[in-house]
Amino acid sequence: MTSASPTLAALARDLAAGRTTSRDLVEECLARIADKDGEGARAFTAVDADGARKAAGAMDQMRAAGALLSPYAGIPVSIKDLFDIAGQVTCAGSVVLKDTPPASADAIAVARLRRAGFVVIGRTNMTEFAYSGLGINPHYGTPRSPWHRAEGHVPGGSSSGAAISVTDGMAHAALGTDTGGSCRIPAAFNGLVGFKPTARRVPLDGALPLSAHLDSIGPIARSVACCATVDAVLADESVVPLPLRELAGARLLVPEGVAFENIEPAVATAFERAVRQLESAGARIVRRAMPEFDEVATINAKGGFTAAESYAWHRWLLGTKKDAYDPRVSVRIMRGTEQSAADFIDLMAARRSLVARASARLAAFDAVVMPTVAITPPKIEDLADDAAYGRANLLALRNCTLINMIDGCAVSLPINAAGEPPVGLMLAGIAGADRSLLALAAAAEGVVVPAAN
């Protein structure tokens, strides 16, 4: 392998040149998962070592025979435990579903990854039923962020194991979901890149839902180009290089207001440094209020779409198995009982208005720029108190949720310097601007991401 943390492009070159094999890549990932001193037991809920070895062997044989394969054929990836994988039970980080029948087919997102030749190495741990931004799981354990790992900091959620699988070299990209930040928060807390596409870009078929209005499917990986590659596969598009974008002249909105309330000093310092770097590269920074963002908390005062739609899905299970749920998850789902049909109709109307007004306001800008998360990853032990957990969870989710609510797309880039706690910079755009945003993020990546990341 080219380095300790190779990109997908580097791995593809190594495979093509014969410097490595798919079987080698799989064995290296499996060894890291099995390391008793590592995070594998907490990052994965299930590992398909036999299946991964067989798939890798097949890819190697076809490549040796001169078959025309995808450049990424044979590269191991992880799958969040929210997705159906044929022959496996989808537990969604819970014990409630352990006795349900195995899936009869792969989720569309998983099937598309397999079609591109990626090797599925296992199912990653997550916040139960994807309902938290911190990544704590009382059933399967909580994987620890690499930041001062011995102290035990949260990995971010809900795609917690997904991020740790990539940081620790247990997979080379991860399939996640993002309803209110579940790809971007773990990316920010672990020095990775996370991409939340426009919600309708990737079909949700075969993914257990949290909120039908807000759910999206995206990757967590080591670079913007890696995320763009996986995104193209998931969207069933040709994998082609991102168009070159210049930062010079790009209009970037820094939305004054709620996105900057109660941010930690380390986050503010890293963010302002990144903004200066973007400005030095020629970007035009505009600091201006974004009134639509300030409306989101009021719109979601009764739990919003996640509470209403998750309760609709879980209400029968809660009637018989509530005691088996993580109480910090079930209490949030139960908030769905606070909404009447009229409330939900009002919620949909309020969001339609919000999306229309935010999209019109952002039409003059190439991207919105703000901290991905207002805080750095807290220690797991500091969240034992429910009140502390609740405060941290709200701050972890807040900024990312703003983008889901306006039906946008967004990328998180790691901007902390060596020795600093992990901080993410979020670039976001309006619905449908996915590839343009990724191209802009790739240009920003070369300016704001320190070499150590």
Q: Is 80 a catalytic residue?
A: yes
Q: Is 158 a catalytic residue?
A: yes
- Cα 274 off chain centre by: 21
Q: Give the 3-state secondary structure of residue 90.
A: coil
- 78, 80, 216, 310: which is the annotated catalytic residue? 80
Rounded-to-integer distance, Cα 340 and Cα 36, Å: 49
pLDDT digits (tens, 9 = 90+) for 178-212: 999 999 999 999 999 999 999 999 999 999 999 99
pLDDT band at residue 3 under the 50/70/90 scheme:
very low
- 78, 132, 158, 223: which is the annotated catalytic residue? 158
Domain positions in the chain? 8-234, 251-448
Element housing 47 (H / E):
strand 44-47
Residue 412 near residue 453 (C-beta atoms within 8 A): no
Rounded-to-integer distance, Cα 179 and Cα 332, Å: 15
Of all residues in the chain, the percent with pLDDT exceeding 70 is: 99
193-196 vs 409-414, strand pairing mode:
antiparallel
- 78, 182, 223, 330: which is the annotated catalytic residue? 182
What are the backbone dihedrals phi and psi of residue 83, each rounded to the nearest 5 degrees, phi first? -105, 145
Domain made up of 251-448: CATH architecture: Alpha-Beta Complex (3.90)
What are the backbone dihedrals phi and psi of residue 246, each rounded to the nearest 5 degrees, phi first? -100, 140
pLDDT digits (tens, 9 = 90+) for 342-373: 999 999 999 999 999 999 999 999 999 999 99
For 249, the token pair is 């002249």
Q: Is 182 a catalytic residue?
A: yes
Which DSSP string corresponds to 215-246? --EEEEESSHHHHHHHHHHHTT----PPPP--
What CATH fold (topology level) applies to the domain 8-234? Answer: Amidase signature (AS) enzymes (3.90.1300)
Q: In whole numbers, what is the pLDDT of the chain averaged over residues?
A: 97
Instruction: Please check the confidence at residue 254 and state whether its pLDDT lies above 70.
Output: yes
Tell which residue, 403, 9, 11, 354, has the closest CA to residue 195.
Answer: 403
Which pTM value belongs to this model?
Answer: 0.97
pLDDT band at residue 451 under the 50/70/90 scheme:
confident
Same fold, 8-234 and 251-448: yes
